[in-house]
Amino acid sequence: MIFPERLYEGDTVGVISPAGSPDMKRLKKGADWLKDLGFRIRFGKHLSSRYGYLAGTDEERLSDFHEMFADEAIRAIICSRGGYGSARFVHSIDFELVRAHPKVFWGYSDVTYLHTAIRQKTGLVTFHGPMLASDLGEENTPLISRQLFSQLFQPMALHYDEQLSPLTTIHHGVAEGKLVGGNLSLLVSTLGTPYEIDTKNKLLLLEDINEPPYRVDRMLNQLWMTGKLQKASGFVLGDFHQDNSEEDADSFSYQDVFQRYLTMIGKPAVSGFLIGHCAPNFSVPLGADAMLDADRKQLWIQPGVM
């Protein structure tokens, strides 16, 4: 794996919108917070462009992505928000450019597609964490969501246990491997493409939002039918919830669905991690070595920077 260099006060952070266009007021709040940390900010040329539900055309969003990686003055790239659209230009990414200019790349949700493609084509460790307009632009952003940016300033191992949130063991045991994954819907959409998620001997992180249990069941079934679940060493289940949904008395719960697949596979699995579309949003380095102890309900992740 290639580890990006740590950041220092005064470094310049590039901000891009690889998917949807951000709310500019919320983006400004998030950017102001980064400035308070001591960063300089440079916005992508097409950051606030609109092209249907996208932040500019595929060519424009790709151009911002390439320019930020190519510019030696940019030490990190943070995505403004998710939405949809990253996969539309991934086939045109110059991965040799990314490999030649490794740097911090940060985001989640739709950015899962970019995390997966970048890691598997270049070996670069990237970061699954809260974004400027969709998370850090909120007035009440939880402190821990902000504090975990400190992992970019020095190599710092992360530890997650029940002091942060209640956790549920789905299957016992201890698993090790590089932490990969992210948004379940996006991971399923990689199947059958050149960027298909590689889960072999990996700790697989899964999270999603506004997908009712039957849809999560369908997606897990697809990952199971393709052998992706069976190849993983263990499972880290992040946040799954529906906003403003009415309870279906006949529905299985998310936990029922997880139990069905993950006990059948028999690998260590724990649910309840506040990783994903939630507040707080615990940020993690994807591609870093990690260990899940399902018996003690603890997760350790090695540093993501050097």
So which residues are the catalytic ones? 109, 207, 277
- On whether the CB atoms of residues 85 and 61 are closer than 8 A, the answer is yes
Dihedral Cα 209, 214, 217, 222, nearest 10 deg = -100
- On whether the CB atoms of residues 205 and 282 are closer than 8 A, the answer is no
CA distance 271 to 173: 14
Cα 3–chain centre separation: 16
CA distance 228 to 68: 33
Residues 6+ apart with CB under 8 A from 199: 180, 181, 228, 229, 231, 232
- On whether the CB atoms of residues 199 and 180 are closer than 8 A, the answer is yes
